[in-house]
Amino acid sequence: MNPRVLVVEDDGPLRDLLGRGLREEGFSVVTAPDAAGAMRMAGPECAAMILDVMLPDADGRDLCAALRAHGVIAPALFLTARGSVEDRLSGFAAGGDDYLTKPFHFAELVARLQVLIRRTPAGTTAPAAVSMDPVSHAVQTPGGSVRLTPTEFRLMSVLAAAPGAVVRRRELVRAGWPNGAIVHENTLDQYVARIRRKLRAVHAPVAVETAHGVGYRYVVTRS
């Protein structure tokens, strides 16, 4: 079976070009022009994802983090016109696996995809305790919906992408403030406290625990 690749790109001509080229290289391709479409199409059948960072309805890094929180493990390659170190680090913190700066050579894109697919186990998804929407920055829980700010959403998504694992403070800062902003020592703690209050207000079945001196972890408190 041909590996299935999800291409999320708002530039129509580029999206069509990528789709045609990848099909000629033997991939099965599905495309989406925005994050909302990508959330509907991503699933266990995806072998890899190509995500534009600048989408019309969401930041591609927010989309990637939300997909990771939903249990989608297909490797993600970001396409972006911005290639600074901070941009790349924030993409990796959000769950990305590779970064390619526009303009790029198509042959290099194909080679990077093939490497990502070879080193990644078959895609899967796992049931999520909460549902995360990268477009509205809302978190849907059994007790109701929680609206987060963009920064809160990025932090929550990165934590939820690895349930039970400790995410280090510097990784959270890179994900929450992806443009290299200077963040004071207690700023991260204040944002996490706000996320906790919002989750408690709707009795969400998840929590954010402190790993003292290291970072934070996302845990499911009940099914």
pLDDT at position 69: 84
CATH of 131-220, one of 3.20.20.140, 1.50.10.10, 1.10.10.10, 3.40.50.10190: 1.10.10.10
Least confident of 63-67, 96-100, 122-126, 133-137: 122-126
Q: 153-178, pLDDT tens digit by residue?
A: 999 998 988 889 999 998 999 888 88
Which DSSP string corresponds to 92-158?
HHTT--EEEESS--HHHHHHHHHHHHHTSPPP-----SSEEETTTTEEEETTEEEE--HHHHHHHHH
On the question of a common fold for 4-118 and 131-220, the answer reads no
Q: Give me the mean pLDDT over the 74-102 stretch.
A: 86
The CATH class of 4-118 is alpha beta
% of the chain residues with pLDDT over 70: 95
pLDDT at position 153: 93
Q: Give me the mean pLDDT over the 66-70 stretch.
A: 87
Taking alpha carbons only, the member of 148, 154, 132, 123 closest to residue 45 is: 123
What are the CA-CA distances from residue 57 to residues 34, 72, 106, 117, 203 (Å)?
A: 6, 20, 26, 27, 29
pLDDT at position 121: 65
Domain boundaries in the chain?
Answer: 4-118, 131-220
